[in-house]
Structure formats: C-alpha cells, structure tokens
Amino acid sequence: MNRASGRKALESKYPPHQGAHCSPPSLINSAQFKSAGPGAAAWIQMPTSPLRWMTWESDFLCYANEVGEAFRSLVPAAVVWLSYGVSSSYVLADAIDKGKKAGAIPSSEAGRSTRVTVAVVDTFVWQALASVAIPGFTINRVCAASLYILGTATRWPLSIRKWTTTALGLLVIPVIVHPIDRSVDFLLDSSLRKLYPSVEKPSSS
C-alpha cells in the first residue's frame, strides 16, 4: 500500500474534524493546508491530522456553558459556573493540542517556537470568544429576556415559564453557532492576526 492509498484509508476511518464553533477553522481543514484568514501569517497553516485526540464527543464539551446558561433558571448558580469550567478546560486543551501540532511541522527551532506560540494564542483567543464568552452571554440574555416576557405576558406557573425559557435557550444554541464563528474570524483577521510575523511556509512533504 503506497502513502496516498494508506492515507486515504486512514482518513476514511478517522475523518478530519470539520465541526464549527469548537474548532478554529484557521487550524483545522480538510485541505492539507489552509491559512487562518486574510490577515494570518503563513506559519499558522497546519496539516490536517485525522488522528486528533479530540473526538466529536469531546467537542460537545465546549457547549457546556451554553447548556448551563439555558438551565440557569432551574439549577443552582454553582452548576452554571461548573459548566463554564468544563468549556474553559476544553478551550485550554484545544489550544495545547494545536500547539503540539504546530510544533510537529518541520522548521527551524526559532520558527517552530514562534509557530507554537501563535498557534496556542490564536486558538485560545478564538475559542475563548467563539466557544465561551460570546455564546454564553448570548444565551444568558436570550433566557433572561424570554423569562421576563413570559412573566409579563402570560399567567403561566413559574415552573412552566422556567422550563419554556430553558427550551428556548437550547433551541437558540445551534442558531448562533455560525454567525458567532464568522464574526470572531472577522474580528481576529482584522486585529490580532495582523500582528503575526511572517515566516517561511511549512513544507507539505
């Protein structure tokens, strides 16, 4: 079996991750290399790794805080904060994972150090905004507004209003994913990624 057919067989068994919201599109793509965006440096381009330690099951951990916010009216505040801890742990783990992948790309020692640093920073900032801060705030406000409106516009029992608010919060989660992801991409491309130094593009061999 040659390298091409072997890789094809491997990718059929372990397909490259292409989920949104919990994996910066700048660092994971089905193509062999993809730039982080118009303002990103070439060295942040990384090869797809079908053997990522993060699976689709673990990717759901980054939605924990959004689910926690949806259930805020029904559970103790400590549970909501715990959900933020789970999502934040995912963010940190993903940043470390991307740093390891960046370090595995052949390059000079100085280039490798720079690539690792920025891969970690870019992933951490992207994840912190797109997977934790912005969606958490959005679900929080949606649920707060819906609970208030239901309280003034209906005579439903409080328990029904709370469960309705939770259901609305959960339904909003998949709706906000792509708009938030694209907005964070635009924000980073227009700011942080413009500061990245340019180095030689990593070899695709």
Structure tokens at 36: 């982080």
Instruction: State the chain's mean pLDDT as an integer.
Output: 77
pLDDT digits (tens, 9 = 90+) for 82-117: 999 999 999 999 999 999 999 888 877 778 888 999
Are the C-beta atoms of residues 113 and 99 closer than 8 Å to each other?
A: no
Are the C-beta atoms of residues 130 and 21 closer than 8 Å to each other?
A: yes
Query: Is pLDDT larger for residue 62 or for residue 44?
Result: 62
Q: Which amino acid is at 134?
A: I
pLDDT digits (tens, 9 = 90+) for 6-61: 434 433 433 433 445 666 654 433 233 233 333 344 334 444 333 334 555 566 78
Task: Please tell me the pTM assigned to this model.
Answer: 0.72
Q: What share of the chain is helix, strand, coil (3-state, %, to 5)?
A: 65, 0, 35
| CA gap 71, 52 in Å, rounded | 31
Report how far Cα 126 is from the mean position of its chain's Cα atoms.
Answer: 7
| CA gap 201, 204 in Å, rounded | 9
Q: Report CA torsion sign: 93, 95, 98, 103.
A: negative
State the virtual CA torsion across 100, 106, 110, 112 in degrees, nearest 10.
-20
Are the C-beta atoms of residues 124 and 91 closer than 8 Å to each other?
A: yes
